[in-house]
Amino acid sequence: MRSTPLHILLVCMGNICRSPTAEGVLRAKVAQAGLAARVNIDSAGTHNYHPGSPPDERSQAHALARGYDLSNLRARQITEHDYEKFHVILAMDWDNLALLQDDCPPAHAHKLKLFMSYAADASLGQVVPDPYYGQEAGFERVLDLVEAASAGFIEQFRKMS
């Protein structure tokens, strides 16, 4: 068993839709599983579009309807220190993974992967699509996907512990 908590960073482009939703969902699922003391969760964006802003109102509303409160989260850009601090850095899509790979010091490249790689159901796809310019259904889809990936993450974490 790990003697120190596992630090996980969830990353999308602007850190106002997908990654804060994933942070809120994973944090809630980890707490429900009784693992909150063993897993620390944060989120960031590859771009500094919305520093200090709360998650998109649509993300907050859809998450709250499922019992996830995102209101205390604030957008930030990933920093050089994050690559060292976090044990696992999970991108929401291929573009953000590529940006992380370009920016990440080689010694920490092994920490990078797609969040959806944890989802047990491969038919859900490999990425969490950006709902920002879409319809309300896109925000529901994000929640469905991050709930699936969160469940898979918890299952794998328990096997490793």
**Which residues are known to be catalytic?**
12, 18, 130
- Both structure tokens of 59: 């993300």
C-alpha count within 13 angstroms, C-beta hemisphere, residue 3: 0
Token look-up 């771009």 returns 47
**Bridge partners (DSSP) listed for residue 9:** 42, 89
Phi and psi dihedrals of 63, rounded to 5? -65, -45
Cα–Cα dist 14/104, whole Å: 18
